[in-house]
Chains A and B, each alone.
Chain A
Amino acid sequence: MRLGMVIDLKRCIGCYGCQLSCKAENGTPPGVFFARVLKQVSGKYPTVQNTFLPVLCNHCDDPPCVEVCPTGAAFVWEEDGIVDVDHDKCVGCRTCMLACPYSQRFFNDETRPYFGEGGATPFETARASHHQTGVILKCNLCRDRVRDGGKPACVENCPTVARIFGDFDDPNSEVSHLIKERGGFPLRPEKGTKPRVYYLPA
């Protein structure tokens, strides 16, 4: 099983529901986004295209972040292909950040509550207390939720149902069908990392 995601750019409306439900699920500190929405205007007035592009870790089949990790902290789960970090092994050297062509790895340098001097909220204390500092944080497709039979928070929450989660190994899965039928494409395929986040054209 190789889990991954298909994002339908026709359905996405750039509401930031993924970016923020991810934050709520993972309690990520300021500046750290396992999921983000990018906006890009192309064309010339009045013929313009305003594109909303949700991004996240691509959970590559050939992840350069794992290849370069000197301590073995960056790894791939054999059972589902999810690219993850063992924080107990991570020494925060940040080599993986340089290696990732998608800028989807984040260094957690210190504990920073969102309200600054206001201190950590009870939510942050409860939800983010397990984040180690001096290590890399990244998306692991909400592996706990998935192992409980659920879907990643960003998928389950997307108001436009633009995110579809599934097994890329299964030719009959919804993700496999959508990629085939709708001409799905990954970002920066030239990097050769074989990403498992595909996009359907707007």
Chain B
Amino acid sequence: MNIIDPKFGTLEAEEKAPHEDNTWVSSSCALCYGSCSIKAHRVDGVIVKIEGNPDSVVGKGRLCGKGVSGIMSHYDPNRVTKPLRRTNPEKGIGVDPKWKEVSWDEALDEIAAELVRIRAEDPRKLLLQRTTTVTASRLPFQAFAAGFGTPNHSTGGGGLHCGNGAHLISGIMHASWGVLPDFQYCNYAIYFGASKGHSAGHASTSNMGMAADARARGMKMVVVDPMCNFAAAKASEWVPIRVGTDGALALAMCNVLVNDLGVIDAPYLKAKTNGPYLTGPDKRYMRDAFTGKPLVWDERAGGARPFDESDPADMALEGTFSVDGTACRPSFDRLKEHFLQFTPEWAEEITTVPAANIRRITKEFADEARVGSTIVIDGVTVPYRPVAAIAFRGSQGHKNSVYNFLAVDLLNQMVGAADVAGSCLGFNPTCHGHPDTGQPWYEPNADPDGLMITGMWMGYHYPYPVGAPRLPQNIGLQDLFVMSMTSPFLDSTDREKLWDDMDLPYRPEMIINYGSNLLMSIANKDVVAESLKTYKMIVSFDVLLTETSEFADIVLPDCDYLQSKDSRSNFPFIFSLPAGMGEWCWPIRQPVAEPQGEQRPMAEVMLELADRVGFRADLNAGYNGAINLRPPYRLEGDKKYTYEEICDHDLKNNFGPEHGWEWFKEHGLIKWDKKPEEVYWRAFVDVRVPIYWEWMIDTHKEIAAIAEPRGLQIPEEYYDPMATWLPCLSHEEHGEGFDFYAFYYRDIIHTNSYTMENPWLDEAARLDPFSYNIAINTESGRAQGLADGDAIAVETSTGRRVEGRVKLTEAIHPEGLGIAALAGHWVDTMPIAKGKGVFFNELLELDYEHASPVNLNLDLCAKVKITRLEAAS
């Protein structure tokens, strides 16, 4: 053995000069919208380490690979440090804007002048556009939009690429932004195109730990996915499926569950859903002539009663009854019969999942559901249904978005596995507030039909009740398509025609963009480029010059997450706080480092812009509304608050005068215990959820009455009250050589397109077998003469085309073609990211035909053919 100098490598061996500045600052990550709590170590002004904050439940002191790599994004020498004004009026992909550095004063003068003109003419001409990555940017943008007077705001590719289905239906059925298994008690979870606990996003790092605990505890995890990566890799069973057909599988499982096995939670269906509501021959509710309330059949009384005048235990779920001479049936009875058409054999044809497996998995789910059981948690008895069927981006990222997601959730609803112990949980839909102040307080409540209205939401409109469609005033037509959120029509090929046909009374002229890279994050780049060219002015807050910045007139150098402050980096709790028992936790974001060059934080700049335009009073009112500020913390008149003061008001409004910004700067976060009545609220709150979407009949009629005379057909089959199977366009494309369904999936080391420029993450992705390559099934690839590493072209029937290198793998469905993340940057200003990976979205069409006519979700799969270009190098 070699001899050791006893002092070598030890701390005392290093003669360190004492540092003037040596601080750990509590703040929040923003490498993805999970916004985990961090502690950043700063020594003499330099950030030398970012770790998880062990005091917080958001990440629980740990960070994913992206979070620990944030330093390299922060110190990227390519960051924008000065305001830039384009001098080249011509705009286009690859066209040099010929940037000129300008002062903040010049830049804001020009922006303010344009805002003044637009606000005088028609404030709706302004579109506010932001990235999903920094969740807290919602507040300054929402308040600005409200104060300025525009309904037009959007979140990058956000809704189109994840949430128009997941968020809508999680909102209607679980009063939350999304769903996951109750990791602490669930024994059997089925994932349909979801990666909860194995990737980025909502409470991601906390979920990684909780999911690992659940697996270690013995929770079985069945993962339905075209690819065995991330969640499927950790599953007890991988169920490979033809891309986009999850709804057919879930419907067949509903059929087996209800009709073959006869396993339902009748007391739950009677008390907590609209299953007992009587429906007439027109499929609508039978209503009480006097109160207008939906009727149920009261078996004890032997007659129909308004739903709220009958004991749920007495309500009929099945049978045919007569009310005033009209034959009617409970909606559950209809649904049960409706399921009969979805046999496992039928589903096998569509999904490729063997019928025997469909029956077996459903039986396992039914057995594990333990219908009728209860459990005592913290002294409180709650229903115990340790099964969950969850879905997210993969399964609902299609034209049939709504029914794919709803069909999955019906599995939970049939056995009462919704927001009770062990079941499918919405994230934190009920909060009774901090013990000292009772704030923040929210919980679901019921509409006049008894159906649930969520107690907390994130923007656009509440998922339910569904508003009345009108001739659109929003450029995204969300006020016509009233169940949509993010819209494809901001940039779609048919947007002008739709606006003309729908008599939109104005055209958008200006965008203020915060960090979103629209050119990459929506669909093929050409259609977005054409849309962006039509704007008179685009202002973009950016940390890097992206493909979209290239279309901006003015770029404003933004502070990043380590240089910014936010009072609510993890609120609303329905977004990225871990679900299940534990603690409520409200962290803040605060600056760790000074701005570089002339960078300024977006929130402050937006306040200054409002002052320059002269609508501070309206902006203050916008903030008061957006964060529900109550006296004495309401913002007053046109008083000029700094963003820090607004944050201070927000915090004191929720946690009392002693818990303002200064207190939070020191402590980083506040937390308190969750109660079983909050986490498992379903048993304690008197609301019902719709397993039968009765309003869809009228909603369709109302939308069609407006749209169809103007030439836009609204297909009725998408608006049936009962979830059904509707194929994607790709399923009906059978051209010769078009053998593969191309899809993309979220990579665990990348978020959206932003992290591609981070050199540590890029290096990890280059070493990963899949991140930057095109995954094709080994046998399918060999049949096409392909070998690992070959360069191929992937083309759609409309001529959209990408190129990349092949990775042959046994871990993908034979018809699948998997591409990771949002890669393939092409601008020189992101040199690390440039040319890495494959730009999947280039394959996507962006028009009405490719969007769900209900929630406008874009169809994110494409039938493609592949051509070998060259052998592996």
Contacts and interface: CB of A to CB of B under 8 A. Distances in A.
A197 B61 CA distance: 24
B65 A20 contact: yes
Interface in B172-214: 197-198, 205, 208-209, 211-213
Contacts, number: 192
Nearest to A202: B234
Contacts of B290: none
A123 B48 contact: yes
Interface string A118-132: 110111111100000
B75 interface: yes
A11 B216 contact: yes
Main secondary structure of the interface of A (DSSP, over half): mixed
A190 interface: no
Interface in B764-781: 764, 767-770, 777-779
Given A17-B62, A75-B3, A86-B5, A157 B760 contact: no
A116 B76 CA distance: 11
A76 B208 contact: no
Contacts of A122: 46-47, 75
Given A24-B71, A147-B11, A13 B2 contact: no
Nearest to A89: B2
Interface residues of B, number: 75
B233 interface: yes
A107 to B, nearest CB: 17
Among A30, A88, A122, A156, residue most surrounded by chain B Cβ atoms (within 10 Å): A122
Contact of A114 (B59, B62, B72, B769): B72
Contact of B69 (A23, A52, A162): A23
B51 A75 contact: no
A99 interface: no
A187 interface: no
Contacts of B814: 45
B602 interface: no
B77 interface: yes
A15 B198 CA distance: 8
B43 interface: yes
B68 A123 contact: no
Nearest to B49: A24
A115 B78 CA distance: 9
Contact of B777 (A39, A45, A126, A162): A45
A19 B72 contact: no
A100 interface: no
B212 A13 contact: yes
Contact of B208 (A15, A52, A72): A15
B135 interface: no
Nearest to A41: B811
Interface string B212-231: 11011000000000001110
B69 to A, nearest CB: 5
A2 interface: no
B240 interface: yes
B10 interface: yes
Interface string B52-80: 10000001011111111101101111100
B809 interface: yes
Interface string B16-50: 00000000000000000000000000011011111
Nearest to B208: A159
Interface in A7-38: 8, 10-11, 13-17, 19-21, 23-25, 30-31, 36
Among B59, B208, B228, B229, residue most surrounded by chain A Cβ atoms (within 10 Å): B208
Nearest to B748: A15
A159 B9 contact: no
Interface in A44-98: 44-46, 48, 50-52, 66, 69, 72-78, 84, 86, 88
Among B4, B5, B205, residue most surrounded by chain A Cβ atoms (within 10 Å): B4
B232 interface: yes
B9 A45 contact: no
B96 interface: no
B832 interface: yes
Contact of B198 (A13, A36, A144, A153): A13
A143 B9 contact: yes
Interface string B803-826: 000000111111000000000000
Interface string B231-257: 011100010100000000000000000
B763 interface: yes
Interface string B738-769: 00000000001100000000011101100111
Contact of A76 (B1, B44, B62): B1
Contacts of B47: 122-123
A148 interface: yes
Contacts of A14: 230, 233, 748
Given A20-B68, A45-B814, A114 B197 contact: no
Contacts of B748: 13-16
A39 B768 contact: yes
B43 A39 contact: no
A66 B4 CA distance: 12
Nearest to A71: B2
Contacts of A144: 9-11
A162 B212 contact: yes
A50 B232 contact: yes
B196 to A, nearest CB: 11
A103 B767 CA distance: 16
Interface in B401-431: none
A20 B66 CA distance: 8
A21 B63 contact: yes
A9 B777 CA distance: 25
Contacts of B62: 17, 156-159, 161
A30 B764 contact: no
Given A14-B233, A41-B810, A162-B212, A46 B240 contact: yes
B212 A11 contact: yes
Contacts of A43: 810
A50 B233 contact: yes
A17 B9 contact: no
Contacts of B209: 159-161
A17 B763 CA distance: 14
A104 interface: no
B71 A123 contact: yes
A108 interface: no
A23 B72 CA distance: 11
Given A8-B216, A45-B778, A115-B759, 11 more contacts: A15-B64, A15-B208, A23-B68, A23-B760, A24-B49, A39-B770, A46-B240, A73-B2, A148-B11, A159-B62, A162-B212
27 contacts: A13-B197, A13-B212, A13-B748, A20-B65, A20-B68, A20-B749, A21-B51, A21-B63, A36-B767, A39-B768, A43-B810, A45-B777, A45-B814, A114-B763, A115-B78, A121-B76, A123-B47, A123-B74, A124-B75, A125-B46, A126-B44, A126-B46, A144-B10, A153-B51, A157-B52, A159-B62, A160-B211
Interface of A: 8, 10-11, 13-17, 19-21, 23-25, 30-31, 36, 39, 41, 43-46, 48, 50-52, 66, 69, 72-78, 84, 86, 88, 114-116, 118-119, 121-127, 140, 143-144, 147-148, 153, 156-162
A-B residue pairs, 3 tightest by C-beta = A16-B65, A121-B75, A118-B77
